[in-house]
Amino acid sequence: MRSVRFTLPVVLMSSSIVALAQSDMHKNTDKVAPSDAQKSFDTLKTLAGTWRGSVKAKPPDPDIDGAAPEVTLRVTSRGHALVHEMQEAGTPLDATKYDHPVTMLYINGDKLNLIHYCDAGNRPHMVARPSAGGKKVEFDFTDLSGGNEYGHMYHAVFTIIDADHHSEDWTYMKPGDNPVQVHMDLQRAK
């Protein structure tokens, strides 16, 4: 009887260890590959840092062309959000006098979302298209919160050239459906 009392706990512990090992083995083989949205989001998170460059508008606009943007990207919320802030380089951080739009990027379900908190007083929402090559992430307009008196941001494209160079293309839809496209060529600030 004494050997049964000793053997039974050992057998139970051994079978528990085997069951846990098999359970862990299934967890490793059952991992789901990241979605296209997650891959694009992970790629955009590599842009965290400060960027400076040049701007060109289409159609040409003397108030925009030649501006010196400063873009800051910061991963936040334990990696679940990316904050994108824009302003003209060298201007004080005073949103009452200078443009300082903020954009939030995040995953919701199987979609990569972008909400742009615009200086025009509205919040356009865009969703990323699937990205074939992974170096370009393109966002299409889905809806708008807030007024549209001054127009709204309508489209955005992030293109990664290399670790220290990327471009951003933003399309602003002015009243009367008149688009203005802005291309920013950005270098990582050292």
Domains of the chain by residue range? 1-31, 36-188
In angstroms, the first-to-last Cα distance of the chain is 75
pLDDT digit string (tens) for 26-41? Answer: 555 568 888 999 999 9
pLDDT for 12: 47
Band (175; pLDDT cuts 50, 70, 90): very high
Question: What are the pLDDT digits (tens) for 114-128?
Answer: 999 999 999 999 999
Q: What is the pLDDT of residues 93-112, one digit of tens each?
A: 776 766 789 999 999 999 99
C-alpha–C-alpha distance, residues 107 and 111, integer Å: 6
Detail the DSSP E strand segments found in the chain. 49-58, 69-76, 81-88, 102-108, 111-117, 123-128, 136-145, 152-162, 165-174, 178-188
Pick the CATH number of 36-188 from 2.40.128.20, 1.10.10.10, 3.20.20.70, 2.60.40.10: 2.40.128.20
